[in-house]
Amino acid sequence: MERERALRIYATMNRIRKFEEKAVQLFESNKLRGSVHLYIGEEAIAATVGSRMTDQDYITSTHRGHGHAIAKGATLDRALAELMGKATGYCKGRGGSMHIADLEKGNLGANAIVGGGVPIAVGGALAQKMKGEKHFTVAFFGDGASNQGTVHESMNLASLWKLPIIFLCENNGFGISVPTWQSTSVKDVSVRAVGYDMPGETVDGNDVLAIDAALDRAITRALAGEGPTYLECKTYRWRGHWTGDPEPYRTREEVAAWMERCPIKAFRAYLLKAKLAKKQELDDIEQAADAEMEAATEFALNSPEPDPAQVMDDVFFVG
Ligand SMILES: Cc1ncc(C[n+]2csc(CCOP(=O)(O)OP(=O)(O)O)c2C)c(N)n1
């Protein structure tokens, strides 16, 4: 991998990790309300995807979407402000954790409805195709969402219309408390691609290089007008489904074994071994992420609450 992009991916992974750690801290100290679904352990996927996109390429995201937004160009300060319901957030504090959208950066939005972002992504890809643009869309969704009707309907149309889209399933092993093997008829969800006449591939979602190689094939196909790809990235979420999850459905040992396979540590080891970076450079990147997160926290804590007088702004009425 080329050095500049590799370092960018490393920085993004660290920025996502710091963001998530701070979000849970603020939640536990009652400064951030609502629920938060953490992406810790899954950072390799969003960071690698983001490194291959321009602002004209689109994503749609999920309830576990902070990492996707950051990888697509969200700054930590406005993202955290959104989680805290502040007026300076990406959606003026009206969306919160599960609804960050940033159209300027091509983030068509996170979605609390499981599988809800996928048809929206198909709409984005259809627009790209109709305008004759050389751009593509990535629809992020989970293994739970992979069983939703919306996802299957979306895949059918995208294949029929040869849209420039990648259906990217982040299979983290669970849908809330239900292990994937108890909810899903196949071991690798990407085999379902056959039903829609598109290529399907399953890769190690903790391995930046494996994700990147598969993305390369999928993006080439999308931009050549050949249609969609189903890409499954197998990973694991280190934290509970959300911040209040007592996690009775798995053992500490299982979590610990996956933490050994930390995607950030693994990519750091690769960068050093391939001599793409020196130890000091990587330490500097980590410290820069810490400093950025500290500044973002100050920004979000000191930002104003939305003005109640503006409650009806951005509300659309039909009729
Ligand atoms: C249509 C719909 N059904 C159910 C829910 C409740 N729900 C929220 S998250 C979730 C699990 C989703 O699992 P998965 O798609 O694997 O994503 P993960 O949480 O593992 O990232 C469910 C069932 C919902 N939000 N929307």
Identify the residues whose C-beta falls under 6 Å from ligand 1. 63-64, 112-114, 142-145, 172, 174-176, 241
pLDDT in tens, 80-124: 999 999 999 999 999 999 999 999 999 999 999 999 999 999 999
Predicted local distance difference test score (pLDDT) of residue 50: 98
Please state the rounded mean pLDDT for residues 297-303.
98
Q: Whose CA is nearest to atom 5 of ligand 1?
A: 114
pLDDT in tens, 148-182: 999 999 999 999 999 999 999 999 999 999 999 99
SS3 content of the chain, % helix, strand, coil (to 5): 50, 10, 40
Structure tokens at 265: 């540590």
pLDDT in tens, 48-68: 999 999 999 999 999 999 999
Distance CA 191, CA 188 (A): 6
Predicted local distance difference test score (pLDDT) of residue 122: 98
pLDDT in tens, 224-258: 999 999 999 999 999 999 988 999 999 999 999 99
Predicted local distance difference test score (pLDDT) of residue 214: 98
Name the residue of 60, 143, 176, 235 whose CB sits within 8 Å of the most ligand 1 atoms, as the mutation to test its pocket: 176
Q: Using 50, 70 and 90 to split pLDDT, how confident is the model at 203? A: very high
Q: CB under 8 Å to 23, separation ≥6 — which residues?
A: 32, 36, 38, 66, 80, 83, 97
Sheet strands side by side (includes 137-142) = 58-60, 137-142, 165-171, 229-234, 200-204
Atom of ligand 1 nearest to the CA of 172: 20
pLDDT above 90: residue 204? yes
What ranges make up the beta strands (E) of the chain?
Answer: 58-60, 137-142, 165-171, 174-175, 178-179, 200-204, 229-234
Q: Is 217 exposed, middle or buried (0-12, 13-18, 19+ CB in 10 A)?
A: middle
Predicted local distance difference test score (pLDDT) of residue 28: 94
- Residues pairing with 201 in the sheet: 231
pLDDT in tens, 16-36: 999 999 999 999 999 999 889
Higher pLDDT, 33 or 296: 296
Q: CB under 8 Å to 117, separation ≥6 — which residues?
A: 60, 61, 62, 108, 109, 110, 111, 139, 140, 141
Predicted local distance difference test score (pLDDT) of residue 35: 86
Please state the rounded mean pLDDT for residues 66-76.
98
The matching CATH number, chosen from 3.40.50.2000, 2.60.40.1110, 3.30.70.1450, 3.40.50.970, for 3-310 is 3.40.50.970
Predicted local distance difference test score (pLDDT) of residue 318: 79
First to last CA, the chain: 54
Distance CA 313, CA 132 (A): 34
Q: Whose CA is nearest to atom 4 of ligand 1?
A: 114
State the pTM of this model.
Answer: 0.98
Q: Would you list the DSSP string of 18-57?
A: HHHHHHHHHHHTTSS-S-----TT-HHHHHHHHHT--TTS
Cα 175 to middle of ligand 1, angstroms: 6
Mean pLDDT value across the chain: 97
pLDDT above 80: residue 319? no
